[in-house]
Structure 1
């Protein structure tokens, strides 16, 4: 009995096709139920012969297809013509009603079978898309794993080469780690990108969540733009930790962003940091800040104010 119930559930959900025995049994049940309804209606209107069998034809066709629907329509017509719950006998009027009943049943069967075939095709497409999505996710996970291993290998090789040049290594190591954190963040959203707030929190979180404030609407960044901004945020946060707001007990950082059409504007505003001294020649970090957004028609402007570093970023958000 449990096996029959499971088969019925799978058929009703469109996962599988019914067996001939289940198909015939369901149609017979629908006919029996319709006949019982007809008997009840006969207590009020004895001239109701075929109307109760329309639902049986509809459900039998939806469950098992057009063939069992046609068989149900023929059987329902035969029952309506031959079975009587009153003294009325089959006459010419009942034969005409039978022809009308079969005509309407034919239209019903055609319509239900048509939409049933569409639903079956859609389910097949859905199953195929689910399989393709699972396969794509497997490939993306494998690529993410290989990328992480490759980045770890590059990190280890550079550390081996630069172990006797700690100053150069100190400049490279945190940037590689920042890229690794960004890749992990992007991977968590299926490799397409990440939210700007999540990106900022991952970079600024180690300095303490009470040391900064983020202001802006939720904004999803495509992968390439997220990587470029991650490098910029890392440079700014590193400078803030060494010379800016995060280097002072009372220092505070305000980051806000706005979007106008496809243009993203970001403001990085530090306050209560140590006094800004003489600005030396532009180093690697400054050059990175100036050039990282060029592929996105962007620019970076940095001002060293008495209150702290003020940086504005503008770029185009790629459509993808």
Structure 2
């Protein structure tokens, strides 16, 4: 009995086609209920012959498919003509109503079958998307695992090379560990988000905590915005290490942020770095910085001052994701 109920539930929900026997039994039940309803209506209106069978056709087609719906429509029409609950005999008017009944039933069956086809296609697409999402998660987890292994290998190789140079190793080791921590943070914020201060410390930590200052209240960033900003901070920090404040002995960085309503403004100020004489053509990093915040109704302004790079990032904080 439990198996039969489960099969009926799956068939009604469209998760799996019901068996032929169950479909026929359901159609018979619908016809019996419709006939009982017709008998009840006959106590008031004896000339109601086919109307109660429309719901039977609809439910039978929705459950068992268009073939079961057609059979139900035919049997319902025959019952409407043959079975009488009054002294009235079948006449031309009843046969005219029979033709109209079958025409409307045909439209009903077509509509139900069209809906069933659309529902089946939607389920197929949803299943495929779920499988692709599961595969993507598996692939990302595998790539993160391999990245950790490679970073650990690089860490071990450099440690072996610099084994006799403890002073150099003391400067390299914390940076490698901080880079690993940043990768872990990005993998976590992709699901939950994080605080902007933790994100900045993770990105800027490899360059030394005395080289930068952070000004702003605690602010939790939703996952998508946090991932976007982490990419931008990484690009800015990398450029600062190559060409900007972090490439000079006395170079400093100050990052500040403010929130007004749902708008976030982040200011990135570098000082005491090399003087920028000529700005090259925009590369991938610059294009990333310029376009990354467009999804959050934001923009990025970059200025190359004599004191160093000055960058202002503005965007909207998505509502309903923060905590």
Structure 2-normalised TM-score?
0.70
Q: Give the equivalent residue in structure 1 for 2:117.
A: 117
The answer to whether residue 21 in structure 2 is matched with residue 24 in structure 1 is no
Q: How many angstroms apart in 2 are the aligned matches of 1:183 and 1:217?
A: 17
Judged with a 3 Å threshold, the aligned counterparts in structure 2 of structure 1 residues 265 and 302 are, in CA distance, closer, same or farther, namely farther
Rounded Cα–Cα distance in structure 2 between residues aligned with 1:129 and 1:54: 37
Once the two structures are superposed, the pairs formed by residues 68-107 of structure 1 within 5 Å of their partners are 68-107=68-107
Distance in 2 separating the partners of 1:81 and 1:62: 25
- 8 Å CA contact 2:256–2:266 kept in 1: the answer is no
Q: Distance in 2 between matches of 1:64 and 1:83?
A: 25
Distance 1:301 1:129, change over 3 A: same
Give the corresponding residue for 1:176.
176
> In 2, Cα distance between the equivalents of 1:149 and 1:79?
75
Q: Which consecutive unaligned segments of at least 5 residues does structure 2 have? A: 275-282, 291-301, 316-323
CA contact (8 A) 2:190 2:227 kept: no
Matched position secondary structure for 1:151: helix
State the distance in 1 between where 2:182 and 2:238 align. Answer: 9
How far 1:87 sits from its partner (Å)?
2.4
Q: Cα deviations across residues 112-135 of structure 1 (Å, max 9, x unaligned)?
A: 112211211221122122222212
RMSD: 4.3
Deviations 1:142-182 (A, max 9, x none): 11111111112112222222233344334333333333223
Deviation at 1:229, TM superposition (A): 5.1
1:217 offset after TM fit, Å? 7.8
Is the CA contact (8 Å cut-off) linking 1:27 and 1:72 kept in structure 2? yes
User: Residues of 2 paired with 1:70 and 1:187: CA distance?
Assistant: 55
Q: Does residue 197 of structure 2 align to residue 200 of structure 1? A: yes
C-alpha change, 1:198 and 1:52, in structure 2 (3 Å) is same
Aligned twin of 2:321? none
SS of equivalent to 1:267: strand
Cα contact 2:50–2:80 (8 A) shared by 1? yes
- How many angstroms apart in 2 are the aligned matches of 1:28 and 1:147? 63
Residues in 2 aligned to 1:214 and 1:231: alpha-carbon distance in whole angstroms: 24
What is residue 255 of structure 1 aligned with on the other side?
257
Question: Equivalent residue for 2:311?
Answer: 313
Number of aligned residue pairs:
277
Given the superposition, is the C-alpha separation of residues 168 and 157 from structure 1 closer, same or farther in structure 2, using an over 3 Å criterion? same
Distance 2:44 2:38 in 1: 10
The 8 Å contact of residues 257 and 265 in structure 2, kept in 1 or not, is answered as: no
State whether residues 61 and 68 of structure 1, in contact with CA within 8 Å, keep that contact through their aligned partners in structure 2. yes
> Which structure 1 residue ranges, 5 or more long, are not aligned?
246-251, 259-263, 270-275, 283-290, 305-309
**1:273 aligned residue:** none
Q: Does the CA-based 8 Å contact 2:50-2:77 persist in structure 1?
A: yes
Alignment of 1:150-189 (within 5 A): 150-188=150-188
Matches of 1:232 and 1:173, distance apart in 2: 21
